[in-house]
Amino acid sequence: MRAMSASGNEMRRHRPPRRFARIRRPRGTFRALGALAVVLLVWAFVWEPSRLLERDYALVLPRWPAQCDGLRVDVVADLHTGSPFNGLDNLDRVVDRLVASDADLVLLAGDYVILSVMLGEYIPAERIAPRFARLAARKPVYAVLGNHDWWKDGGRVRRALEAAGVQVLENASTEVVVRDCRFGIAGIGDKWEGDPQPRRAFAALPEDLPTLALTHNPELFPDIPARAALTVAGHTHGGQLGIPWPGDPPLPTRVGGHYLAGHLVERGGHLFVSPGIGTSILPFRFGMPPEISRLRLRSEAVALEPASARATTAASRTAAHPPRTRP
């Protein structure tokens, strides 16, 4: 009996604790985690970079005049044609959307070519720019250059865009008239590579003319003259990373001191940063899909009017474009 008891004690001594036995059992958990990892990789590197959204934004601007209330502006940034799922066929898809849009004009915020991206290929500006010709024939198109454009010969990119009818504004400005709305557009060189000169860009415009500033890198925003009604930029790709959310994902505007995506108001100035179309360095997007940003510029004076006065004012102007968001 003592021998049997000793043997039983020995068996119990070497039996693994039950809590460790439980850890070894759920093999299905590892399979599920592996499947989830595959889904997330496909989402980030295949599905989302190949999407194209049109997202509507209504921006109420204190320095935007009542006669320009409701002006529609389409913004496209960081095309990076040649990144994965973003070749010339996708550029044609973007241009198709811009041509069909009811926007009054289009702003291009730089980086049409790409220096390098994993699994991508460089496509020269001479093959990219002609795709914009049919768009420029339909409505005004204004552009600035980005850091990738300068890395691949900014003068060459500029000449190709201008040959297609796109007006490139590098530290320069122009006056625009749309119906009864008169305003200026000041294009400012890229912060990294374009010798930015905001004051020079604004110098040729009357002080009382409402003006949109266009540049590539939003880090230039603090240097934009205070009289700008809105600064439009790109460059960040929205970080290529956001929080997936049903419907329209909430876009953080500033992370770690950097302007990231969406509409931001700082010290009375208004900035809009487009999440862009393509990718660079790593060819992924997660919760930050490629986007044509469709801005509706509202005059604060009109937006804050009582409803009765607003209805009377609206009757005297061209009807506003209906909002829409296309997947």
Judged against a pLDDT cut of 60, whether residue 147 lies above it is answered with yes
Domain residue limits at 264: 51-315
pLDDT tens by residue, 73-101: 999 999 999 988 889 999 999 999 999 99
Tally the domains of the chain: 1
39 to 34, 218, 232, 285: CA distances (angstroms) = 9, 33, 34, 13
For residues 138 and 161, what is the distance between their CA atoms, to the nearest angstrom?
15
pLDDT tens by residue, 216-248: 999 999 999 999 999 999 998 877 666 554 444
Kindly state whether residue 29 falls inside one of the protein's structural domains. no
153 phi-psi bin (left φ>0, alpha ψ -120 to 50, beta other): left
pTM of the model as a whole: 0.79
The CATH number assigned to the domain holding 119 equals 3.60.21.10
Q: How confident is the model at residue 9 (pLDDT cuts 50, 70, 90)?
A: low
Kindly state whether residue 262 falls inside one of the protein's structural domains. yes
Amino acid found at 282: L
* Lowest-confidence segment of 65-69, 77-81, 97-101, 317-321 by average pLDDT: 317-321
Dig out the tokens for 254 from the structure: 């500033």
* Lowest-confidence segment of 140-154, 201-215, 275-289 by average pLDDT: 275-289
Q: Where are the beta strands (DSSP E) in the chain?
A: 53-61, 71-76, 105-108, 141-143, 167-168, 172-178, 181-187, 211-214, 228-233, 254-255, 258-259, 262-266, 269-273, 291-299
Kindly state whether residue 326 falls inside one of the protein's structural domains. no
Kindly state whether residue 323 falls inside one of the protein's structural domains. no
Amino acid 322: pLDDT: 38
Kindly state whether residue 85 falls inside one of the protein's structural domains. yes
Kindly state whether residue 16 falls inside one of the protein's structural domains. no
For residues 233 and 227, what is the distance between their CA atoms, to the nearest angstrom?
17
Kindly state whether residue 90 falls inside one of the protein's structural domains. yes
Strand order in the sheet with 71-76: 53-61, 291-299, 71-76, 105-108, 141-143, 167-168
For residues 33 and 152, what is the distance between their CA atoms, to the nearest angstrom?
42
Kindly state whether residue 19 falls inside one of the protein's structural domains. no
pLDDT tens by residue, 181-193: 999 999 999 999 9
Angle of CA points 218, 224, 195, to nearest 5°: 70
56 forms beta bridges with: 294
